[in-house]
Chains A and B, each alone.
Chain A
């Protein structure tokens, strides 16, 4: 076993060599190699072919639908998440623990099962659909359904990022503001909101990122009509089904690049949030 050659403070603990070896081997086999395989596959297409695939009309329409639905889903979750985080931290009420537990349901429930439940609830004869469809609002097999499926599967993000920050806020500033005659709304707007904003933004970004890649729940509820309710992940799946591997590779590459950009964004926001928390 060799010891850590880089460390500034010599660690007396053993296991650097073996844990480094296992970690790197695992990451190379499970994560890096498959990613590299797809990048190579896409690179073999050549720029012109890649570009014509990813800017085809059908692909462009999936980007529009995916981005639009994900934006709407994130808006829903921003509102719902802020409300739930606030209520769960600030008030005592019967059933609070039940709701706090239920919040994680979308992460525990398989997305396909969520999709099955949502399409059943919102279809024409469903529990909600029978009241909503006569009003002229179509959710199942319509773009709105995609947004709802995305919102459901990414619902916990905003709540679970804002909640701990709200719990850690110290009373002092609020009490000072109250003593100085601030109204509850002013206290929220000028004292609490600036402190939870970084966490809120981080949660919303995570929610948006997850929505862009969602597949399981959407397959059930969207109806999968080209140019109408087809999201990018679905188009990738369809291209694979047609054995059109170059198209699948190119479109998956677009999704991968966007996912990396979102990962970078959320990491930057979270680093900012951490600095913010340390300062306050």
Chain B
């Protein structure tokens, strides 16, 4: 029995799924089961449970955020500490997402275009942050850069401060999002194979030309897809950032931390107003995901 080449991706990329489906005649050939009382009951149950379990929590955020009127909402959002939290969250995404994209491309190129010992181990290693609790992610960074940590004495001697600063938020965000782009690119690039790229190289193209004219157009949607998921995770990270940032009001408070702070201050409207901005980002993520999946299929 052949060992699996790559771990089965959680949600196989739509293009991979489309290719798999086309092998047995496309998705349209399946005979949908006939409609009977059982089927109707199952569909209704699924709709009801999704509405209660997924729809209601989403609805409650917007209801409470706008419940006291748009003016109050605006006042809460433009509160200086909330504005700063929004800025810091956006800044973190601007720094982390491109780095993760470059890393994802590197890993995917390495493990899909070359065969070497330890390849499987490397893929598993990239996936590790995905299985580690956000709290543990924060703790390991604390024990590296904190004053109690491995590099603590060295950093203090050179008067470098990383813990409880904005760079600590960047670092821990890089950790938690490590596999995001790679896991979208690896299965896709594995399926696509390297024939086109090998042809380009043998015709005299340089490595960079091959990448930008052959590889990138083939993976652009999957790359964007991974970036969108990565962005959602960066903006929403809570456990890990709450440990390494110190959650200093107006300094190192990201938006999710600001939501908790406002909630603990019994400022419900403020908490929901801040939360609604993240909920909008989540909805945008879902819409983009849908569009990208369609773009990939066509």
A→B interface (CB under 8 Å): 4, 6-9, 11-16, 18-20, 22-23, 26-27, 30-38, 40-41, 80, 83-84, 86-88, 90-93, 95, 97, 99, 101-114, 116-118, 120-121, 126-128, 151-152, 155-157, 160-161, 164, 167-168, 170-171, 184, 202, 206, 209, 212-216, 219-220, 233, 236-237, 240, 245, 248-249, 252, 255-256, 259-260, 262-263, 266-267, 270-271, 273-275, 278
Contacts and interface: CB of A to CB of B under 8 A. Distances in A.
B12 A164 contact: yes
Interface string B169-182: 00100110010000
Given A110-B282, A171-B30, A37 B134 contact: no
Given A30-B175, A270-B8, A99 B46 contact: yes
A181 to B, nearest CB: 16
Nearest to A199: B8
A136 to B, nearest CB: 20
B74 interface: no
27 contacts: A6-B115, A11-B115, A13-B197, A14-B207, A22-B103, A23-B122, A34-B175, A83-B49, A84-B50, A95-B47, A101-B289, A109-B236, A111-B238, A112-B238, A112-B259, A114-B57, A117-B275, A151-B53, A157-B10, A161-B10, A167-B27, A213-B134, A219-B260, A236-B139, A248-B139, A263-B131, A271-B7
Interface stretch (B76-84, B105-113, B153-161, B216-224): B105-113
Interface of B: 1-4, 7-8, 10-12, 17, 20-21, 24, 27, 29-33, 35, 38-39, 42-43, 45-47, 49-50, 53-58, 60-61, 64, 102-103, 106-107, 109-110, 113-117, 122, 124-129, 131-136, 139-144, 148-151, 171, 174-175, 178, 194, 197-198, 201-202, 206-207, 210-211, 229, 232, 235-239, 242-243, 256-257, 259-260, 263, 271-272, 275, 278-279, 282-283, 285-287, 289-290
A19 B134 CA distance: 28
B140 A252 contact: yes
Contacts of A80: 49, 53
B243 A90 contact: no
A270 B4 contact: yes
Contacts of A108: 232, 282-283, 285-286, 289
Contact of A220 (B103, B107, B242, B260): B260
Q: Is the interface of A mostly helix, strand, loop or mixed?
A: helix
A237 B243 contact: yes
Contact of A116 (B132, B143, B202, B259): B259
A270 B194 CA distance: 26
Contact of B143 (A37, A92, A120, A273): A37
B15 to A, nearest CB: 13
Contacts of B237: 110
Contact of A110 (B1, B57, B278): B278
Given A116-B272, A260-B131, A160 B11 contact: yes
Given A9-B115, A108-B282, A213 B133 contact: yes
A270 B7 contact: yes
A127 B60 contact: yes
A97 B50 CA distance: 12
Contacts of B174: 30
A110 B256 contact: yes
Contacts of A87: 42-43, 46
A156 B285 CA distance: 15
A108 B283 CA distance: 8
A213 B133 CA distance: 4
Given A19-B106, A83-B42, A121-B56, A11 B150 contact: no
A159 B193 CA distance: 29
A7 B115 contact: yes
Given A23-B103, A37-B143, A101-B289, 16 more contacts: A12-B201, A30-B174, A33-B150, A37-B140, A87-B46, A90-B32, A99-B47, A108-B286, A112-B236, A112-B257, A152-B53, A213-B134, A219-B260, A259-B131, A259-B132, A260-B131
